[in-house]
Amino acid sequence: MEYDKSQVYSIAAWDYTVTSSQRNSTDEPSWWDPDNDIPPFLPPDCENYTVTAKAEDFDADNDGNIEVPGKDEGIQKITVNIYHPDTDPDPVIILEDYKVER
């Protein structure tokens, strides 16, 4: 979560999956750069784990609509799920937080 929040704000929604040996994305964040190990692989002692991360637009004013431009612009909800084979398909940990374009 902290890694994703430390990256530059990526305007479009994004997602990725990373393990200790693979990374892939269907909608890459603007900072995605596998040639420079971004995002990094999980460390070797986490070889059985999988991390999925995604950012999506957030309805900050809770009116049921995403206004861009408008009150909801520049706010994303980030969700990180951590999986282990013993708990799959349920995540071991789910983290949710928000990122604001600054």
pLDDT at 44: 95
* Beta-bridge mates of residue 51: 18, 82
Mean pLDDT value across residues 47-65: 91
Stretch 46-68: mean pLDDT: 89
Under the banding of pLDDT at 50, 70 and 90, the label for residue 6 is: very high
CA distance 43 to 21: 9
53 has which bridge partners?
16, 80
pLDDT of residue 27: 96
Query: Which residues lie closer than 8 Å to 24 by C-beta, 6 or more apart?
Result: 16, 17
Domain boundaries of the chain, sorted by first residue: 2-100
Tokens of 31: 């900072």
Residue 53 has pLDDT above 90, yes or no: yes
- Edge-first strand order for the sheet with 14-18 is 23-27, 14-18, 50-57, 75-83, 93-100
| Mean pLDDT score across all residues of the chain | 92
Segment 58-83 shows an average pLDDT of 86
